[in-house]
Structure 1
């Protein structure tokens, strides 16, 4: 036998490091000696490791900026290292306009130009994809005039349900630096998707979805809080009497409507996650009844992913312990981010807004863990979870 671990054959050392329980453990091991570092930073090794270990929730991003996980959250050390190493002010991008985070995935941030109070903003906004850790970015070309001309002018409303573009997950066979963006135009009679691929550097038009094919027109209500699981994006309807999901399969670029499980969910959002073995998981908050406190419930579809599952089984219920503000703010395939706080109260003639406690739920561990506490601020704004590996294990994504 080799006298030390550093003297082990590289293949055996690789198998040992692959079996470390968490990315943070690998990051610490990689700092032990050059031999460990060479194995842990090898591209083929990292691809294998990422297949076995999901990235950790390190932070979230909203209009108040980058919010790293703080102690006692288990990701706090990696989040602290990320905040020191990365530039989430995006100062390395061109400064001719203000960039707003639109989507976050695989260590990359999709940014959109903020058109402020423009009376007639462009149909398709300017977009950029960046890697804050390695300070790299790609400015996407504008959607060609010929493609834009093929759509109707969107209805004159300030905010349309599908104005926010999508940054797609990296596929199993994709290169680590490849990415795909979908920008959708919400018209009066249809939803027209445009797809950009970094491999071709070009936009293409995908098949539109006609509103007439839907049981209820999106012009009559709003979709929000989109989620991704198993190659599909889900938008939740805010129509209380008809709780449903609009689903987009990004491989076939096909839309359909899926119903939520039986009534009883609160009005402040649900979250779609990957429960494993191809099954969808659903988190939702049930309103307290008869003076009771609200609960966070986790149910799993007993059938494999499909268009009309509808067979949901309760897995676990979490008591939130507060009758104030409790709602689901964001989700990824594996994590859910909640906001919990006491109810606002009047102090004299003014209303005092409480601090907000951000809580994460790991679908695998099913434990509530506090991420941080922050002032009310822009808590109602778009919030995206940043889930990735510690900086020492993160290769450039662009």
Structure 2
């Protein structure tokens, strides 16, 4: 008996959604708000694993460039908490952003999805914390000399490309004293600090205001109104002048920002006017400050004949600018507001009128399991509210059949 060879059954062709690379490309093009990524993560375990992968979050940042503002960290003398600013159902749960022990750590600022904290007391070590992934890494500092009068630091990742290892970051640490400024940069890729860079020109002490990252340079404010520039590529440190008469106009009520791609910006508030400056370079290579926008904020002034219980000097304080430089956060007699610099729209952040430190936090957010349940409940609640609204206004019709 002759046996016939069995026919080899061809393997079923792979479906397009079986390809992780193709899924990545689809996920990258979703709207970067938390709800869109949440719904995709709930499809299956595989999709959730891909969306929460650090490599995908890095590519998401490179694709969309500007992450949404998720909230702000409010820091008082002995405590700190996270206040979400998104509208439901994109409002992230504050519980997932609980700060490390405030008695041991002081928040310095946020950038590229990470928060940077320093140990208390003193500057013995820095803590780089990613609230989305929960990853933490301590960076030790050398003991500072007695001549050091002021310090500041900032963290930044690699938002443009994927040349660096996934999850890598750098920390720029600056210290001043006796008219001199020095800085060095830590790289998580090497696990070590780079060489010490010292400014050749004397300068004032560095302030504790947030820094600005513009292109390949980091900028800090100085106590008496100047600006300190660290050029990462050239490894140079030098002071520079602010806009004309900035100190006498704004009296320290200022923030550094990026006016546009590769252009340093400067925001200052005088009474009830917000001025936005840009440092433009002319054809001959000369850099000059140009006042681009003046925003009148007279709506925050007290009504005639009404004396508010709390009076501030200045009446409007600029607390910070978000990472994408799209929103300015302002303290007023009515509370904390977020001002859209493009649409000129105000939104209430908090009714708290007094605070010491204020740090906006921006990132692309993919919820974990517990947060996913929270989002689902909020989404269902919003749906129910809209359904009840339609019923009350007669837009929802009931049909019945009589036997």
Give yes or no for TM over 0.5: yes
Q: Is the 8 A contact 2:243 2:277 kept in 1?
A: no
Structure 1 residues 251-304: Cα deviation after superposition (integer angstroms, max 9, x where no partner): 3332233333344742242223223332333322133xxxxxx12233444449
Q: Given the alignment, which residue of 338, 344, 362 partners 1:360?
A: 338
Structure 1 residues 252, 370: CA separation in 2 closer, same or farther (over 3 Å shift)?
A: farther
Structure 1 residues 14, 170: CA separation in 2 closer, same or farther (over 3 Å shift)?
A: closer
Q: TM-score w.r.t. structure 2 length?
A: 0.68
SS in structure 2 at match of 1:165: strand
Question: Within 1, Cα distance between the matches of 2:239 and 2:285?
Answer: 8
Q: Given the alignment, which residue of 227, 233, 244 partners 2:211?
A: 227
**1:65 Cα deviation (Å)?**
0.9
Where do 1:9-24 residues align within 5 Å? 15-24=25-34
SS in structure 1 at match of 2:92: helix
Structure 1 residues 337, 125: CA separation in 2 closer, same or farther (over 3 Å shift)?
A: farther
Question: Within 2, Cα distance between the matches of 1:362 and 1:21?
Answer: 19
Structure 1 residues 134, 7: CA separation in 2 closer, same or farther (over 3 Å shift)?
A: closer
Whether 1:55 and 2:75 are equivalent positions in the alignment is: no
* 1:252 match: 234
* 1:272 match: 256
Q: Is the 8 A contact 2:30 2:37 kept in 1?
A: no
**1:327 Cα deviation (Å)?**
1.1
Structure 1 residues 307-340: Cα deviation after superposition (integer angstroms, max 9, x where no partner): 9521424245242522352011123442444333
Where do 1:100-111 residues align within 5 Å? 100-111=106-117
Question: Within 2, Cα distance between the matches of 1:184 and 1:45?
Answer: 32
Structure 1 residues 21, 283: CA separation in 2 closer, same or farther (over 3 Å shift)?
A: farther
Structure 1 residues 78, 154: CA separation in 2 closer, same or farther (over 3 Å shift)?
A: farther
* 2:288 match: 310
**1:99 Cα deviation (Å)?**
1.7
**1:184 Cα deviation (Å)?**
3.1
Q: Is the 8 A contact 2:38 2:367 kept in 1?
A: no
**1:40 Cα deviation (Å)?**
4.0
**1:183 Cα deviation (Å)?**
3.0
Q: Is the 8 A contact 1:87 1:135 kept in 2?
A: no
Q: TM-score w.r.t. structure 1 length?
A: 0.69
Q: Given the alignment, which residue of 26, 36, 46 partners 1:26?
A: 36
Q: Given the alignment, which residue of 188, 192, 196 partners 1:206?
A: 196
Question: Within 2, Cα distance between the matches of 1:374 and 1:307?
Answer: 46
Structure 1 residues 335-357: Cα deviation after superposition (integer angstroms, max 9, x where no partner): 44433322xxxxxxxxxxxxx62
Question: Within 1, Cα distance between the matches of 2:175 and 2:223?
Answer: 20
Question: Within 2, Cα distance between the matches of 1:312 and 1:390?
Answer: 36
Aligned residues: 330
Structure 1 residues 364-396: Cα deviation after superposition (integer angstroms, max 9, x where no partner): 5554332222252xx1x2332221122439xxx
Higher-Rg structure is: 2
Question: Within 1, Cα distance between the matches of 2:194 and 2:53?
Answer: 35
Where do 1:126-145 residues align within 5 Å? 126-143=125-142
Runs of 4+ in structure 1 displaced over 6 angstroms? 6-9
